[in-house]
Structures are given as structure tokens and as C-alpha cells.
Amino acid sequence: HVEQDPHRLVPVDVLREMVREGRIGKLHEEFFSTTGNGNPLENSRRMGREMAARLKEAGVDSVILTST
């Protein structure tokens, strides 16, 4: 499904529309995604810390968390 329409995973089309409407400020140039496989808890925590650090360093004020 995602191969047919990538917006099913990350709705960039809708997000860009929200930027045009002034509902959100702007989009970061990167999107983060993880696979749906199981992971040891410590690995998940490490990945979360690393993603948060990169977003904070880039000045990102908020994020949208979704589930697939």
C-alpha cells in the first residue's frame, strides 16, 4: 500500500497544505520512521534519545507521532 502511495505512511501532502493554510509553521527536511519489528527495550530507548537529540539540535518545536 505504501509503495503505491507514500502519503499513507507520512502524509506530506496534507502537512504541506497545513503549512500553506498557516495551521503549522514549517516542516523539517527529514522524517523519522522505525520498522514494525520487535526490538529490545534499551535499543528502542537509545533510538528515541538519538532522534530527539537530532530534532532538538535542528530547532524542531513539536512532532507528530503516528502508528501504522
For residue 46, the Cα-to-chain-centroid distance in whole angstroms is: 17
Asked if 18 contacts 50 with a C-beta cutoff of 8 angstroms, the reply is no
Domain range summary for the chain, segments of one domain joined by +? 6-57
Q: Name the pTM for this structure.
A: 0.72
User: pLDDT tens digit string along 6-45?
Assistant: 777 788 899 999 999 999 999 999 988 887 778 899 998 9
Decide: helix, strand or coil at residue 3.
coil
